[in-house]
């Protein structure tokens, strides 16, 4: 942690309005840095995180914030905190692997039962689960193709933001697994008709 006299050069991600700048910036003599600031140039409190990222703040009184953070410094970067980051990364990768595995199992099941399905299958059901729309069994591949969009988006979001948002990681995993169970159920139900 240090006080740095620098200037924000190029915004890579985020937003800037007069009096508010946040996001990822390229800064003079510092490089890429996450910024939460009210100014473009001047004194910033710069904190380097365990993962190598840097965060810059521009408080009203730079030296006062720097002193307060320095007093609390012994609580930062403890092995417990590093272990927490490691656990978060494991959770992220576990969620991505479980979602991709669920999708591949669903796709494998579809290929496995496809030859046994009748040529015409129900594709729409009313509120009482009575079929009221019919289509060719090849439409299941269209549904599987559309379903493939979710694990791709899920993986991108979780790998990008999951280590910071455990709730997002858990929520996306639950939603996707629920959709796969629903998809399995539809395939199983259509196979029995």
Q: Dump pLDDT digits (tens) for 158-178.
A: 777 665 566 766 777 777 778
44-79 pLDDT, tens digit each: 888 887 767 888 888 877 788 778 777 777 666 554
- CA 106 to the chain's CA centroid: 22
Confidence band, pLDDT 50/70/90 cuts, at residue 97:
confident
Report yes or no: 177 and 106 within 8 Å, Cβ to Cβ: no
pLDDT value at position 88? 64
CA pair distance 160, 24, nearest whole angstrom: 14
Is 193 a residue whose pLDDT tops 70? no
Residues facing 6 on adjacent strands: 42
Number of H-type helices and E-type strands within the chain: 5, 7
Q: What are phi and psi of 15, to 5 degrees?
A: -150, 155
pLDDT value at position 81? 47
Q: Which letter does DSSP use for residue 72 in this model?
A: T
């Amino acid at each position: 942690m240090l006080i740095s006299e620098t200037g924000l050069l190029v915004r890579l991600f985020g937003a800037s309005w007069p009096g508010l700048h946040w996001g990822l910036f390229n800064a003079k003599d510092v490089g890429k840095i996450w910024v939460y600031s009210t100014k473009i140039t001047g004194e910033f409190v710069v904190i380097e995180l365990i993962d190598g990222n840097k965060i810059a703040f521009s408080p009203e009184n730079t030296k006062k914030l720097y002193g307060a953070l320095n007093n609390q410094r012994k609580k930062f970067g403890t092995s417990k905190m590093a272990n927490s980051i490691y656990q978060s990364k494991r959770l992220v990768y576990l969620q991505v692997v479980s979602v991709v595995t669920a999708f591949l199992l669903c796709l494998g099941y579809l290929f496995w039962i496809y030859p046994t399905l009748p040529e015409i299958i129900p594709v729409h059901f009313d509120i009482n689960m009575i079929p009221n729309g019919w289509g060719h069994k090849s439409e299941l591949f269209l549904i599987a193709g559309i379903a493939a969009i979710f694990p791709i988006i899920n993986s991108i979001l979780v790998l990008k933001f999951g280590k910071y948002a455990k709730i997002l990681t858990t929520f996306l995993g639950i939603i996707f697994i629920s959709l796969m169970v629903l998809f399995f159920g539809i395939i199983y139900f259509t196979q029995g008709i």
